[in-house]
Amino acid sequence: MINTLFISSVSACLELENDLPFNSGKSYDVYLDGKKLYSGDTNVFSVYGLVPSREYTLEVSGFGSIGFKTADESCALNVKDFGAKGDGITDDTLSIQTAINCLPKNGRLYFPEGTYSTAPLSLKSHITLDISENAVLYGSADPSRYPLIPGTAKDMVTGEEIHFGTWEGNASAMHQALISAEYAEDITIIGRGTIDGNARNGGWWENVKQREIPRPRLLFFNRCKGVTVHGPTIQNAASWQIHPYFSTQLSFLDLSVNAPKDSPNTDALDPEACDDVRILGCRFSVGDDCIAIKSGKIDIGKKFKQPASRHVIRNCLMQYGHGAVTLGSEMAGGVKELTVERCIFYHTDRGLRIKTRRGRGRDAVIDGVLFGNIKMDGVLTPIVINMWYNCCDPDRYSEYNTTREALPVDDRTPYLGSFTFRGMECKNCHIAACYCDGLPEMPIGSVTLEDMRFTYAEDAQKGVPAMRNNAEEMCRAGMYFDNVKKLKISNVSVEGCDGDPLIMHNVGEMIGE
């Protein structure tokens, strides 16, 4: 069976319905109105170069056919008609921004083959950017071309703070992203082209801890509604590649997001305090977390009480990041209704990574999380639930965040509810199969593991399973649980571990084989 995920005026994204992670299990041919387009083997695939407001029949050999109609558009304009050269030498910033400013509602701006050198661009509502194959939007290497955006600015009449810039969970001045939208809606970026931040040539990856102003993201959407990014390759951001912030109705489809493995803080996709997010058929290989779902630190969490909610991650491939799918650590607004399924994690440090700590606050509730039908290979520690995360905050080495004694539950105490992991094969593990460490005053609510198999690499490397103070190195460890109220284990095998396959401390109730 074939399902449509997204139809624009000139492209379509579709998904094969099966029980296989990421790949379809066999090669297939894609036909459009009887003409063969290409062969593929992934569950999510796309077609481009369509005509607006036209009906099509698409067939996938061995999987059936489906009909669809492309969307309407008011006009399609070529960016070169506004003076853009696309020669990789000319500064095309003003030409591109002028074209965006002039584009009518429901209009599409087309980038033909070429390299368009540009400083930051601002998008507006009801437009589409169409970046064709072999077209590259190439970020300026001059840091002075990236304007500063304030964290907040006051309304001159009411005195209300209006939020703009952010970094790691706080309102903060920042450099403008290469492509950004603020308080806008109905924005689409499509095509097989590339958006390249050119961070190495701009020196953005050097001396990162000494920078007073946070580095720019590549794509940033602040308080936007109805944003779809379909098809392009996103790469080499100065920091996070894609950062939607307090936005809703977001779709990221059939993308490739890349950065060198040693590039600092180059998370692929970090939706923060967002609602209704789809991440489908994407390929990630970056220098930090592949996907990090966030909802701000305690000031932001208390002020807006906006959880990250209704996120679906499916048929994605995550490679070489610190974490494949991460929750936190900036999650003071909480995370709810998250489903991750039919994905492949390859050689990430951690697979399913949940990180929080004392100080995130009583609104920092993560609950109702399901991970299922996932294959991992070469992941150091497949499952990590860590309530002692010790990175990024000034008080991370304080007695408050290091003592293993139970502290009073107060406004700073986070909560982790129920987590279900099922149908997972994790081979060539290194450090531990599973590491779950709750707070003594606020244990993890419940952890369920069903139909899972863990095996270890022959050359397994030792290391710490989670970023926490006083962490002890492990190697080929089994499943470790500390401060968990309820643990349920069913049909789970741990093969080849050194020591006990199940290590428990302070587990309230244990149900399982």
Q: Which residues are catalytic?
A: 288, 322
Q: 365-382 as b/e, with b when 16 or more CB fall inside 10 Å? A: bbbebebbbbbbbbbbbb
How does DSSP assign 119-163, residue by residue? S-EE--SSEEEEE-TTEEEEE-S-GGGS-EE-SEEE-TTT-PEEE
How does DSSP assign 179-192, residue by residue? EEEES-EEEEEESS
CB-CB contact of 109 with 129 (8 Å) = yes
How does DSSP assign 318-360, residue by residue? EESSSEEEEE-SSBTT-EEEEEEEEEEEES-SEEEEEE--TTS
- Please name the amino acid found at residue 11: S
Q: 192-209 as b/e, with b when 16 or more CB fall inside 10 Å? A: bbbbbbbbeebebbeeee
- Give the span between the Cα atoms of 82 and 382, in whole angstroms: 50
Helix then strand count (H, E) for the chain reads 4, 45
Q: Are strands 64-69 and 55-60 parallel, antiparallel or unpaired?
A: antiparallel
